[in-house]
Structure 1
Amino acid sequence: MNYANILLVDDEEDIRNVLSIYLKNEGYEVSHASTGIEALELLQRMKADLVILDVMMPGMDGIETCMRIRETYEMPIIFLSAKSQDMDKIHGLMSGADDYMVKPFNPLELIARVKSQLRRYRAYQPNESQVLEVGNLRMEEETRQVFIGEQDVRLTPKEFDILALLVRNKGQVFSIEKIYEMVWGEPFYKSDNTVMVHITKIREKIEENPKKPLYIKTVWGVGYKV
């Protein structure tokens, strides 16, 4: 059986109840919130290992809630949404989510994605603190902290994993397909622009001028490198 605290945020009680049954059957502890405000208040009182967050909610929607969560917390966030266009997915990922599922969906697929996100989030447990450095950028893998000089930079779990992969292998060029398969652990689909969205967000956070990056460089027609 699995153990993790899952925060399930959706304004539809039926959805919360159904998903809660599936999650609890897998051994997870589940807390519920029906609004973004309620979710933020719960996070101040509980330790959540993963958040499942509906996009379309009254008042504070899922996008704003996700951005507020990312101001403080780094746990994986999975969006649920009836919006299926590519731009909707990009918007969700740009706001700080790690995955995006379109309603209606098979609850068993959600369970698989929850397990996958938790597994990768917890996978790196080094015995000693390892520090990765390039230029003015420093990454502490044990605490998953990133610094530009003395400035603390907050990255999502996936953003951290992508940057760590590139910094660990300085000078090596990684294709979009390779980055996706190594970080997400899933087969890459040709139409998927998830990696490019995450690279854009990382550059916005670590580069003085994202259009002229010093750290993550594009090798045209091949991929990315540090």
Structure 2
Amino acid sequence: DDNKPDIQVGDLRIFIKRHQVFRGKTEINLTGKEFNLLLFLAHHPNQVFSKKYLFEMIWHLDALGELATVTVHVNRLRDKLNEVEPEFTAIETVWGNGYRFRVEE
């Protein structure tokens, strides 16, 4: 069923085949990398991933000196998800470790 999201967390809905992300009724336009980053994190709720690991998984490259790229993409992703109220807080920074997609059990 194409109308059923592959992943739903609160008002966030992710449709993988259609490459679409919604918060409520509002579509959030993400780049390919932003979409892949969100999808990867959402697929692994409550797990902490280092910037190095995320870079290697999303960009498929060795993370030599490129870790700022992950930070930039996470920040852009948060900014876009926050264009809709209320604030989107699921993507958490875990200081010294990386990021996680927090989901209440």
TM range (shorter): 0.7 to 0.9
1:176 pairs with 2:51: yes
Cα shift readout 1:11-64 (whole Å, capped 9, x = no counterpart): xxxxxxxxxxxxxxxxxxxxxxxxxxxxxxxxxxxxxxxxxxxxxxxxxxxxxx
Cα shift readout 1:160-196 (whole Å, capped 9, x = no counterpart): 0000000010111111001100011110013541111
In structure 2, C-alpha distance between the alignment counterparts of 1:217 and 1:143, rounded to whole Å = 26
Larger radius of gyration: 1
Q: How does 1:168-207 map to 2 (within 5 A)?
A: 168-190=43-65, 192-207=67-82
Q: Cα RMSD between the aligned structures?
A: 2.0
The letter for the 1-side match of 2:33 is: K
Q: Which residue, 42, 65, 70 being the options, matches 1:167?
A: 42
Contact 2:21 / 2:28 at 8 angstroms: preserved in 1?
Answer: yes
**Deviation beyond 3 Å, 4+ runs, structure 1:** none
Residue-pair matches, total: 97
Q: Which residue, 81, 94, 104 being the options, matches 1:219?
A: 94
Q: Which residue of 2 aligns with 1:29?
A: none
Contact 2:51 / 2:67 at 8 angstroms: preserved in 1?
Answer: no
Residues 191/147 of structure 1: CA separation in 2 closer, same or farther (3 Å cut): closer
Q: Highest relative contact order (Cα 8 Å, sep 6+), 1 or 2?
A: 2
Question: Which secondary structure does the structure 2 equivalent of 1:193 belong to?
Answer: helix
In structure 1, C-alpha distance between the alignment counterparts of 2:45 and 2:24, rounded to whole Å = 19
Question: Which secondary structure does the structure 1 equivalent of 2:35 belong to?
Answer: helix
**Higher helix share goes to which structure?**
1
> What's the CA shift for 1:133?
1.4
Contact 1:207 / 1:215 at 8 angstroms: preserved in 2?
Answer: no
The letter for the 1-side match of 2:70 is: V
Identity across matched positions, percent: 37
